[in-house]
Every structure is written in C-alpha cells, then in structure tokens.
Amino acid sequence: MKYAVIFGANSYEHEISIVSAVVLKKVFRADMSFVYCDSLKHFYLIPEDKMNAKTFSSKAYLKEKELFLKQGGFFEKGLFGEKKLECEIYINLVHGKDGEDGKFASLFEFFNLAYIGPRIEASVLSYNKELTKLYAQKVGVKVLPYKLLKSYDKTSLAQDFDFPCIIKPARLGSSIGISVVKDKSELEYAKDVGFEFDGELLIEPFIKDIKEYNLAGCMINDDFIFSMIEEPQKKELLDFEQKYLSFSGNNEVKEAKLDEALKAKFYEAFKKIYNPLFKGALIRCDFFVIDDEVYINEINPNPGSLANYLFDDFSVALERLAKNVKNEKKVKTDFAFLHSINASKGKL
Amino acid sequence: MKYAVIFGANSYEHEISIVSAVVLKKVFRADMSFVYCDSLKHFYLIPEDKMNAKTFSSKAYLKEKELFLKQGGFFEKGLFGEKKLECEIYINLVHGKDGEDGKFASLFEFFNLAYIGPRIEASVLSYNKELTKLYAQKVGVKVLPYKLLKSYDKTSLAQDFDFPCIIKPARLGSSIGISVVKDKSELEYAKDVGFEFDGELLIEPFIKDIKEYNLAGCMINDDFIFSMIEEPQKKELLDFEQKYLSFSGNNEVKEAKLDEALKAKFYEAFKKIYNPLFKGALIRCDFFVIDDEVYINEINPNPGSLANYLFDDFSVALERLAKNVKNEKKVKTDFAFLHSINASKGKL
C-alpha cells in the first residue's frame, strides 16, 4: 500500500508535526511519501532523504516540488501537464490547529482522499476541551469538574474557584498556554497567558500526584487494537519539549502495572469514546485514575507519531487501519426537484 | 464590495441550494459572482444571466469556466496563465452536507478567504441535532427531551418511548428522512427511512399543534440585528418542497403577534445561542413555545436564501455583516524548537 504523510500547517504545533513525521519515517515500515504543508499553507513534496529538521528550519523545502490539491489527489505541475502523486491513503500527522480542528478532515473528505485521522465531527469534539467533556459525559465516561472563563463574558470571569487549579485554553493541545495556579496571586498572569491562545479557558482542580495513564488504539471492523497502557513519567506538568520528545523514541516507555479490573475499565472507557465517532483514526486517550475510577483527561486524535512507542507491532496496526478506513457516502443528485419546479411552478 | 456566492456541492439539498442562489441574486442588491460546486465537487463560474434552474438541470453549466481553489482565492486557467476571481467576500449558500457540516468553513479558513457562514465548530454543533441539544443546554436554552437510536447499538434500539413521536436523522436538515410516528405499527418503516440517511436517529415527543416561531439574525461587533419573528404556516410537518419554496418569495410571510415578554425571551435565547459561536454567520433559529417557555428546535446556520423574507432591509443587514467577518488568527512559525533540537539534542 502506498501512503503519504501530511504534516506541518498553520499550527502552534507546526514544528512538533515535523518531528512527528521524521519519527514516523523511521518507525513505520511502509512505502511513504511526505507532503509538507508550510505555515502559509502551500504544499511541498519532500524527498525521503531530506526528511530532517534542517530542510525545514533552513527553508530548503522551498526548492522542492510544489503540490496542488484538487479533486482526487495532490498534483505537481510539469512541462507536460499535471502529474498526480501516487498514493492510496493519506496519514494526517498535522497536530493541533488545522490538523485536529476539522480542517484537514474536511480537505480529505471534500477532495475525496482516503485518510487516517479523525473525521470532522470527531476533530471538533476532541479539539475543544469543553466539548470533549460534554461528549464524554454523553457516552458515559467520567470527567473532572470544570468552570469556563470567557474573555467576552464578565460574569464568567468573576466566578469563584479553589486553588490549586489548572488553567487550560479550551482549544489547544500540547501543554501550550496551560498553567498550574497555586494561589490567587498567580491567577491573573495565568489567565493572561491562556487568553493569548483562546477566548475560553477551562479551570479544573489541580490534583497533586494524580495518577495518569495513556492508552492508544483503533478499531478495525468490530474489533479494537489496543496499545499497552503507559504511566507517563512526569514532572508537575509535562512541558512542550518534554512531552513531544517522548515520541521520538528517546524516552523509555514503561507499561503500567495494573490489576485486571482497572485495565478493563480503561478498555471500556476507550471503547465508549472511540466507537463510532473516531472510526478511521488511531487515537490516544489520556486518563486519570481517582479512587479506582477512570476519568478521561484528553483525547489525542492524531497523537505524536501516532503513539508508535506504545504498540507491540505498530506497523501492523497502522496497516490494518489503513485498509479499513472509509470516507463519507456520496449523495446522488438527479435534479428531480428542479425539473418539477420547471414543470409546475413556473420557471425560476 | 464584491461578493461571490458558493452553492450546490454534494448534499441532499443540492437543488435547494441552486434555488437559494437564484433567489439571492434577486433579493440582494450587490455586486455578486456565482460559483457553482457540482455534485462531483468541481467549481464553475456561472454568468449572472444564466442563473436559472435549466442551466443546472440540463448540465449546461459544464460549458462554463471551471475554477480552482488555491491559497487566496478561486482561479481560472487561461492562455496567459491563471486569473483570480475578484471577490472580497464569499457567501456560503451550500445547504446541508458540505455547506453546514464544517467542510466549506474549513475550505474558506484553509485557503484564507473571508466568508459569511458558520465557522467549523458552529457548523458541527448545528449540523448534528443531538450536539445542538447539548450545546443549547450548555448555554442555558431549553430543548425538547429526546432519545437516540443507534444503528450500531442494539441496546439503544430496544429503548421504550411514547407515541406519537417524531423521528429525525441526527445529521440532516430540510425535513429529509423525518417521520411523524403515530403508533407502533408505523415505527419500523420510519426507522428504516431514517437509517437510510444517518446511523443515528433522534426520537422526540410529537406535540400536535405546537407553536413554532422563526427568528433570524446576526451580530455586528457587540450589536444584534434581528429579523421579524415569523410563525410559519404549516401542515403537520413542512415538507421538503413547501419548506423551501417559502424562501423564494412566493409565500406570504406574517409577523407573529406576540407580547413583549415573549418576544424578549426569543431574543434572549437567540443571543445565548449565537454569541460567540456563530459570529460571521446569519442564522435562523427555529423555536417552539410550550407554556410560554421558549425551546430551540433547530439552528440553521445557512438558512434558505439567508432568510431574506424575514428582514425589513435584508441587503443592509448582509452588507453590514460582510464588513464585520473575521477569519482565524494566523500562527507564526519561527522554527525555534527545531533549532533548539538541532543545537542540543543531536540532529533529527
């Protein structure tokens, strides 16, 4: 099967996405092309031997072939017309904005390209942390309580809450703009930081030494493929760099030692969240455990290098998923309604 | 200001969208181009004098100039290179799938075109009727109770509910696939019809002679422009044709006679729903009234010909909105992270 990996785009996680693509090249045993979307949202075909950080940071990518998106694929212009990029399936490896907010899902659906990644609705519900909570509660998965601060609503800004708390922009991943606020003196600065990134901030209780676990997986027909359950090593809060270097294979990954009953709760919660909303994607769910109960913290619908480090055989899992993805059904248009208007209601 | 109207696309409401565009040409006093997206999702520039039903039903549109979407605009290919369609703002007049599910919002944002229409998140939350209910409750607007039937979940299919009820596919507008079910004998057929269109069906109580009211509007900076409140003439359920011929100006529109207290409740509910999620769009909210309380039934983020028939001066309202729309903020990429990796962590 011939794959193309899309990465970059106009996102705070643009560089993370580049790292993610470089890592995927190393860990996924498959025939892959690499389509870079720069921050101005032009596409470039990057040769495999140039898939390294310098190609991008030095802007050498600008010398590579530019690609254009049209119905059915990416095309390059040549002397003898247009040539289509050979590819059976695209992998959405754009993290954060553009990649996980519904835009790339929309592009793939609109231009009719088969792809691995969250669909539009799944993107929107996982990208906005408040919607994630509403969705999780709807499907019967526990979430931490929260309050919402809105930059455009003074009443919301005057709400009371306890310290310590954690403040998160509603619509960003990757720990960007997130602060742990120990007491009131730190609050204003943390709000200012958060509002730099989003007009809405979630406030959650900060629970010191809370147990955190990650589980990745995907669904093939009616079966789930699960990764190991990891207890990520952490400081108070994983910072940007630390969180993302983790998927480059430099950190040691340890399977969490859990009893079977708790494990079953993780699988159960993952299934409720995944099916059917995330079909077509390989996602990573980040859970908390409090008093033996499982809470969803965050859904990563395009995890960094697709969480390869959590799987026994990542290549097999991704390949099985690739063979199983489906795009939306096409609607047939027969103009029956317009014909009937012309016939009976007078011409439009 | 120079406008371009986008209509058609791969939607059950494809033909409705054509009618909507033909009507807009008549009612909107502005300099407009017309960009037709056929059901294969190719774009064509339709000359104003060919904006009639026959151009589409006879497929004569195929002889018009094809347009291509690229960063910054629509382009046509000519002998001397590419020519950009002159346009300052696009109007999303694609109804239903593609237009209201987040795809066109994504295209406009990705390709950096200013547009009137719902943003991605607003599209997803209004396109899925269950998400509309969750969202409305979150912002403090009442909704009718519902149950969800899922084609992929037998437990959900075995739920009990009372008759008469109304069955709606979760993700379609325009009365398509909707049935009023008077008793159990009609249920299976109604479910089959609904499941033709979506894997999830909402079941709501059917309340005979329920009062229904429509209110359209938009927000300019911090002010709202509201239309009149209409009590739509109806049979048991407005059917496809009846519902959509209404915006072509053939039906008489009557302002509902309401006391000020109830009117205030409509405005209040509209504001809660609109702000800030629907900024950039002119929407129509369809409300129910039960015991003097206002319930949201449906949010139409691209109403048929943008509900022109409800406004005193539709052209002025749309023009003010056009001058006020904003796309997403751009994220700056400086490659600081990649530089730091190269410097200190070993080359990627």
**Is residue B170 within 8 Å of B202, Cβ to Cβ?**
yes
Chain A residues with beta carbon closer than 8 angstroms to that of B103: 106, 109-110, 120
Positive/negative CA dihedral, B311, B314, B318, B319? negative
Predicted local distance difference test score (pLDDT) of residue A176: 81
The identity of residue A66, as a single letter, is: E
Which strands, in side-by-side order, build the sheet including B283-290? Answer: B223-230, B211-220, B283-290, B293-300
Distance separating alpha carbons of residues B345 and B340, to the nearest angstrom: 8
Q: What is the pLDDT of residue A95?
A: 95
Chain A neighbors of B111, CB-CB under 8 A: 41
Q: Which of B54, B97, B124 sits opposite A102 (nearest CB)?
A: B124
- d(CA B336, CA B154) in angstroms, rounded, equals 52
Cβ of A338 and B12 within 8 Å?
no
| B142 close to B308: Cβ distance less than 8 angstroms | no
Residue A334: its pLDDT value, please?
Answer: 81
Judge if ipTM > 0.90: yes
Stretches in chain B below the pLDDT threshold 50 = none
Q: Is the torsion defined by CA of A150, A152, A154, A155 positive or negative?
A: negative
B119 vs chain A: nearest CA distance in angstroms?
11
Helix axes B120-127, A120-127, angle to 10 degrees: 110
Q: Is A240 on the interface with B (CB under 8 A)?
A: yes
B62 at interface of A, judged by CB pairs closer than 8 A: no
Q: At what angle do helices B103-110 and B120-127 cross, to 10 degrees?
A: 180
What is the pLDDT at residue A173? 65
CA dist A41 and B35 (Å) reads 23
What's the CA gap between A343 and B59, in Å, rounded? Answer: 17
Specify burial of residue B95 (Cβ count, 10 A radius: 0-12, 13-18, 19+): buried
Cβ atoms of residues A247 and A304 within 8 Å = yes
Residue A70's DSSP bridge partners are A73
Predicted pLDDT of residue B20: 94
Neighbouring residues of A180: CB distance < 8 A, sequence distance ≥ 6: A164, A165, A166, A206, A236, A237
Amino acid at A49: D
Strand A89-92 to A115-116 pairing: parallel
Residue with tokens 């289509």: A84
pLDDT digits (tens, 9 = 90+) for B26-60: 999 999 999 999 999 999 999 999 999 899 999 99
Query: What is the residue type of B309?
Result: Y
The list of chain A residues with pLDDT below 50 reads: none
